[in-house]
Structure 1
Amino acid sequence: MKKILLFTVISALTLTGCNEDKFLEEKALDFNSASNSYNTKADFDAATTELYYLTREEFYTTYDRTTDLSKFADMWITADPLKSNITADLSPSGAIAKFYWDENYKLIAQANTVISRVPNATALTGDQKKEFEAKGRFFRALGYRTLVLLYGNVPLQIEEVTAPKTDFTRESKDKVWAQVIEDLEYAAANLPEINAVKDGEISKPAANMLLAEAYLATGANDKAVNAASAVINNTNLALMTQRFGSQAKEDGDVFYDLFRPNNQNRSAGNTEGIWVIQFETNVDGGGNNTSHFFWNPGSFWGERFFAPQVDKFQLIAPDGTNVQLFNWPIGDMTGGRGIGTHYAVDHLYNGIWADDFNDMRNSEFNWPRRFKIHRTNVLADRPELAAAMPDGYFDLEHTVLPAGYSMTTGFDGGVNATNQLPNRFMCGYSTKMTTPFHYPDAQYQDKATYQLAGTGGKTFTDQYFFRLAEAYLLRAEAYVNLGKKAEAAADINVLRTRAKAKAVTADQMDIDFILDERLRELVCEEKRRLTLSRVGKLAERIKKYNPYFNAANSADKKDYDAHFDLFPIPLSAIQANKDAVLEQNPGY
């Protein structure tokens, strides 16, 4: 009996003397939880893999959003819908404003978690801690870079949020840019060199590329020169100037080689790629899948959006008969399974090449404008067409139709008339978005004729986020801002020498020339809206070069207005932030 009483007293003292919160705290001993998942190198590798995934998701693999940052700019006429409706597209309650806000704050939240957990990770060495913090800071800077260019003043959160928070307020762009620069300076100092990382991983040159951009955005042009020079002078990097890679023995040129399958990474001998977004076809988590239709998430649909749908291009014979020259979808130079959602404005199609149409970047391999006719029986049956196209090609620049023939090239009601070239269904295009004759076997319906399956339209190459050529363009921009036009011309001529284009002079150097050179070099690579926002030229160049956004081609009969240079703050974010005011951008 005494033993029972003693046990009861001890038990009571033990229970009443403990800390209840600590007593009730669950300790994860045999499973992963938020409390124990950030300790080892493997833990932080997994966490940073999510940062790469979120970046790919934002810029490449969310179907409806793939083209936003290039179509709302000075480059592309949109054929579907035929009329622009930017008021609806950029509504505070619309998908676009919400997507980029949510995606970038997801990226920032994950980066903040990595950064906040590093100091307490006992299984990491000091150098590993610096490297993982640098990775987190790079991606946090990337997220805030995008947000500040799209929305202006935005909430600045640099600590991990571990409880509901509903009192965010907007910080000034200057403060946000200062944080971006601080993060990138740390990343540039502590990330590994590019020759010490795997394909697809960020490195010192990637941080310096983004840092040069941030310096330019804040007027620190001397620092931008230094950051870009750190990339250009890196002995591990060099422009590709000779044929290389998977199709080096086929017809083409070195610029074409840069964008062929399996050619983007250092492991393929490419010393120009700095940060390459990775795709592994038909691998779980790898991105592209040959069985995906466009409504399946995860694949990159560049070909579908930016290549023409050539079977819809037809000639009209004098007797009114429609004459079809091309089959579709054929995985040759006609654009695979493109549907021509976007085609080039005249400035991109003709204007930027006016001084040198023979620039390699405008070659028949990189910007084809003549297409081999599939239906050769048509030429055999119609001698007058055979005479007009004696080499069996339809040439957008030179073919003259026989008397009495006309053409139909698209839907009525768009920017270009249905009988005007280029148009949705017959246009030159950038082959960066296609892989002619070299699709995965599973993407063919009939490989012998290169006919593609109904799930075609994807771009089966890894994608450059940063390429060395852009470092020359960033430094040239900084030189122009500093009044050093001779130095700017020298940088531009490095790229033009590779492209076998005419050299330029210091007198030609201004920001608009730099922006045009970026089109020649980086079309379908750069996030064009972000560039134009950074240099303060978005509204100006849309109004000057993109008729899709003028009153004649808009649903509301209004010209593009400069308040659209900033996206609206999404209504969902404003409503969820119940304990503080997130002010809306002007004009919305």
Structure 2
Amino acid sequence: MSIKKLTYKLSFALILAGGMNSCSLEEWNPSTVDVETAYKYKSGYESLINYCYDGLYYFYGKVDGIGAMEMGTDLWTNVGNTESGFILYNSNMNAQLGTLNTIWNGMYSTVNYCNTAIHYANVVEGYTPEERNKKVAEAYFLRGWANWHLVEQFGGISLTTIPSTVSGAVSSPKRSTEKEFYDLIIEDLKFAAANLPDKVAGERGRVTKKAAYAMLAKAYLQRIRLGENVQEYAKLALEASEELINNGAKYGVALYQSDANTSGYSKLWAGPNNKNNTEFLFLEAVDHVEGRNPEGWNRGRTRQYYLMDARTVGAPWGTQENDAILGRANSRIFKPTKYLLTEVFQPVRNPADTRFSETFFHEYYNATWADKTITASMVSQYRKNPNLVGRVIKNTAATGSSLVQGNRAINHYGLVNMVDNNNDGYLDGLSILTPNYVMSTQEKSDLPFWVADPSDWFDAEGKWINAQTNTRTTAEYEIFPSLKKFSSKEYVYDRQYWMGDIPIIRLGEVYLIAAEAALLQNNDVNKALQYINTLRKRAAKSSRESEMLVAAGEVNLDFILAERARELAGEQTRWYDLKRLGKLTSAYLKDTNPEILSFDPSKHVKRPIPQTFLDAIANPVEFGQNDGY
């Protein structure tokens, strides 16, 4: 049972229906129910705690969080102009950008809910002191999480601890320093780690100690970018990480282990493991049974923003928009960079590392409900071997019943005719192949499906070819590897929505935090190597684990940054990673993402303050816009 299901069943939910509006940081109008009376009762107070989780659902699995956390980095670039302020740091990154309002209002709303819960905790009847601390610790955790995003996105803005029910509207807010933000974030997370339960049965989304230690490790490590007490905060980050790594049974966490047929990394993303995942430490729990979520069934849309053009460009070969597993191909926005495809991931056929194949769809199948026959015109247009005329690409579409949606009929590709009867090494229903390695012109010509690889996608500078620079009659630049992580068929609701839980922090990241912290504390290469190799081994099938091992001489902060990309691409961590490690620079971004031409390090390491906020307060000049905007 997800925690959001509880929220909708509690009568006191209406108390917070007003939320936070744009008139101030904390303005909030309670209903006719007196709040102190309402929070006197456990049901009302626990409804308030549940509302503290609301912000997760507007930041993960939605385009707003993707733009802020993954774009403008070394890993992704754009297809269209949507979110281009985040992607290219162009003039669209300004104080009027709507996504900034979503993040600003959502995080401050979370902070206000949490401040309210913390303030009124002592008036609640029916708790023992230990029970009260366990419950309010959720609010401390989520306030720390929200303030962490606020300070990383916007810098030293207004740090609030008093609920609006007590302070009233704050018309002239004051700025706090980033250090003051981090002092409170860490204190909040320490309280959470000390008081949250080890485990909670039956409530996937409820935070426990594993989430607190993981978030505390992230906060300690990120604070290092402030440049003070680096070794001390690295030590603390390592200790928080090792609390989870060394006590997995206590907290119910473990890395999935590889076997002869499947890597541990593949098991991590397997649909049957989604709702009870041993690597998910902090997650957005989605109610896949009754749809009791903010916006109901409108969840899990991450995949559609990264999808290649299966609707039009791929259609002659059998792909289509109405593809349940791939998603809906009408929101194409983000593409992987050449750096991500060919340097982060090893550009070879059949690598030991399964993380490329688990991160990306790169094989697309005939989903048209009929066999496709290669014609002479296709051979001519797509530069194929004439001997392929008449070759059949088998239909692989079938109606499957989702494992969690009862008997709801979902059309999936890849359920039938997934065979290799012609013994060419590829399944007979394959329509399009987009490998991250370069294939010879002859091989691409001879294969009975359309092939595009990095030699077709990028120019000499490493930029994506586009409609203006393309010299062919076909559009290889519109077919490419698409993000796969949030797509397991068991939780497909329809071609647009996916009802799986979304991990916010995973155990795999904790191993990488530990490795980075070990280097920063005292250059303990051997400890860092231990954690890195443990993680890398579980990315291969058991028979190939030895191929994944790296030597001590390879381990440094740059290697860990690349390893974080291999492990976490698309999981909304990358912008903060580059910020922490000093890689938000013109030189680094030019080398890894040459589409970015206008990055200004004196300006773009923070986002602009939303203009709607500055227009609403009484002291906009004193509060000030962030530098450069």
Q: Report the TM-score, using the length of structure 1 for normalisation.
A: 0.78
Q: Which residue of 1 aligns with 2:303?
A: 303
Q: Which of 456, 464, 478 in structure 2 is aligned with 1:415?
A: 464
d(CA) in 1 for partners of 2:51, 2:512: 30
What is the Cα deviation at residue 156 of structure 1?
A: 1.2
Q: Which residue of 2 aligns with 1:427?
A: 480
**Residue type at the aligned position of 1:384:** P
1:316-327 matched pairs, under 5 angstroms: 324-327=316-319
SS at match of 1:275: strand
Q: Which of 444, 451, 469 in structure 1 is aligned with 2:508?
A: 469
> Is the CA contact (8 Å cut-off) linking 1:312 and 1:425 kept in structure 2?
no
**Residue type at the aligned position of 1:467:** R
Stretch moving more, 228-237 or 182-191? 228-237
- Name stretches of at least 5 consecutive residues in structure 2 with no aligned partner: 1-30, 225-229, 380-384, 394-423, 541-546
Q: Which residue of 2 aligns with 1:276?
A: 283
d(CA) in 2 for partners of 1:422, 1:131: 56
Q: Which residue of 2 aligns with 1:238?
A: 254
d(CA) in 2 for partners of 1:338, 1:193: 43
Is 1:256 matched with 2:294? no
Q: Which residue of 2 aligns with 1:221?
A: 234
What is the Cα deviation at residue 578 of structure 1?
A: 0.7
Q: Which residue of 2 aligns with 1:369?
A: 362
Q: Which of 562, 579, 601 in structure 2 is aligned with 1:533?
A: 579
How large is the RMSD of aligned CA atoms in angstroms? 3.4
Structure number, greater radius of gyration: 1
- Name stretches of at least 5 consecutive residues in structure 1 with no aligned partner: 1-29, 291-297, 315-322, 444-455, 551-557
**Residue type at the aligned position of 1:72:** G
SS at match of 2:585: helix
Stretch moving more, 528-537 or 465-474? 528-537
What do residues 109-134 of structure 1 show as CA deviations (whole Å, max 9, x unaligned)?
A: 00000000001223322112211221
Q: Which residue of 1 aligns with 2:55?
A: 54
Q: Which residue of 2 aligns with 1:180?
A: 185
1:439-458 matched pairs, under 5 angstroms: 440=492, 443=494, 456-458=495-497
**Residue type at the aligned position of 1:342:** F
What do residues 134-164 of structure 1 show as CA deviations (whole Å, max 9, x unaligned)?
A: 1111111111111111111111111222311
d(CA) in 1 for partners of 2:242, 2:202: 21
d(CA) in 2 for partners of 1:196, 1:332: 32
**Residue type at the aligned position of 2:487:** T
Q: Which of 566, 571, 576 in structure 1 is aligned with 2:611?
A: 571
SS at match of 2:603: helix
What is the Cα deviation at residue 271 of structure 1?
A: 1.9
Q: Which of 373, 391, 400 in structure 1 is aligned with 2:444?
A: 400
**Residue type at the aligned position of 1:67:** G
> Is the CA contact (8 Å cut-off) linking 1:60 and 1:300 kept in structure 2?
yes
Is 1:585 matched with 2:626? yes
Q: Which of 137, 152, 155 in structure 1 is aligned with 2:155?
A: 152
- Sort the Cα spacing of 1:108 and 1:126 in 2 relative to 1 into closer, same or farther, 3 A: same
> Is the CA contact (8 Å cut-off) linking 1:208 and 1:227 kept in structure 2?
yes
d(CA) in 2 for partners of 1:385, 1:363: 32
Q: Which residue of 2 aligns with 1:265?
A: 275
Q: Which of 318, 331, 335 in structure 1 is aligned with 2:323?
A: 331
> Is the CA contact (8 Å cut-off) linking 1:303 and 1:338 kept in structure 2?
no
What do residues 215-243 of structure 1 show as CA deviations (whole Å, max 9, x unaligned)?
A: 11233111111000011112222101157
d(CA) in 2 for partners of 1:138, 1:71: 26
Q: Report the TM-score, using the length of structure 2 for normalisation.
A: 0.73
> Is the CA contact (8 Å cut-off) linking 1:79 and 1:424 kept in structure 2?
no
What do residues 149-200 of structure 1 show as CA deviations (whole Å, max 9, x unaligned)?
A: 1111111111222311112111111111011111111110001103557211
**Residue type at the aligned position of 2:333:** T
Q: Which residue of 1 aligns with 2:544?
A: none
What do residues 472-513 of structure 1 show as CA deviations (whole Å, max 9, x unaligned)?
A: 011011012121112111101011110125211222222221
> Is the CA contact (8 Å cut-off) linking 1:304 and 1:340 kept in structure 2?
yes
SS at match of 1:207: helix
Q: Which residue of 1 aligns with 2:388?
A: 386
What do residues 405-463 of structure 1 show as CA deviations (whole Å, max 9, x unaligned)?
A: 999999x9x83235599966311233113234x464x62xxxxxxxxxxxx23333110
Q: Which residue of 1 aligns with 2:8?
A: none
> Is the CA contact (8 Å cut-off) linking 2:525 and 2:552 kept in structure 1?
yes
> Is the CA contact (8 Å cut-off) linking 1:92 and 1:570 kept in structure 2?
yes
- Sort the Cα spacing of 1:285 and 1:531 in 2 relative to 1 into closer, same or farther, 3 A: farther
Give the % identical residues.
Answer: 21
1:507-522 matched pairs, under 5 angstroms: 507-522=553-568
- Sort the Cα spacing of 1:65 and 1:180 in 2 relative to 1 into closer, same or farther, 3 A: closer
d(CA) in 2 for partners of 1:374, 1:284: 28
d(CA) in 2 for partners of 1:213, 1:422: 42
What is the Cα deviation at residue 579 of structure 1?
A: 4.5
> Is the CA contact (8 Å cut-off) linking 1:193 and 1:205 kept in structure 2?
yes
- Sort the Cα spacing of 1:113 and 1:333 in 2 relative to 1 into closer, same or farther, 3 A: closer
> Is the CA contact (8 Å cut-off) linking 1:40 and 1:124 kept in structure 2?
no
d(CA) in 2 for partners of 1:102, 1:385: 60
SS at match of 1:112: helix
**Residue type at the aligned position of 2:267:** D
